[in-house]
Amino acid sequence: MSVFDDLRNGIPYDIRDPEYLREAHGEMKRCRNLCWRINSTNPDDREAIITLERELFGGLPEGTFITPPFQVDIGCCFKLGKNVFVNHGLTAMSIGTITIEDGVMLGPEVGLFTVNHEPRNIRVIMTKEIHIKRNAWIGARVNILPGVTIGENAIIGTGSTVTHDVPDGCVAVGVPAKIIKEV
């Protein structure tokens, strides 16, 4: 079992733990360097960017593209479906696993955060997966917090902070995001 599996299964980790340092920091270093290479590539050289994105994520499904610049800290815990489009400025803290299904669109400067710290000991982290289901649309500058599932065909309005699940086919807006209607 890996540190990533433990975290996905709800086991907290002290960030000073030697196993955490070896495994998580090794992956963070790999991803930081790949993100730097991607973000430094000519934006019109789409093939070079796609090649590097494949290396970052261990593959890249058909029709999926993440527009640089972006930052993903743990590529091995970031799962992408087909025909996903992510606009520039993504920040993904994915150590707790992020799953984005087919057809999802993310606007500019979206933040996806799967990790939090234990309030009584900030050196201990806990994670919860973020799951964005098929054909969801996430507006610009939306932040999605640990443990949130965005339903199929859901829409999250620009600037929202999503702290709770959003059901299939619903529109949610605000800070914190609240459901305002069904699509």
User: Which DSSP state fits 44?
Assistant: T
Residue 38's nearest CA partner among 85, 61, 63, 72 is 72
Is residue 2 helix, strand or coil?
coil
Which residue is catalytic, options 25, 117, 131, 164?
A: 117
**DSSP secondary-structure letter at 166?**
B
Reply yes or no on whether 88 is catalytic: no
Question: Catalytic residue positions?
Answer: 117
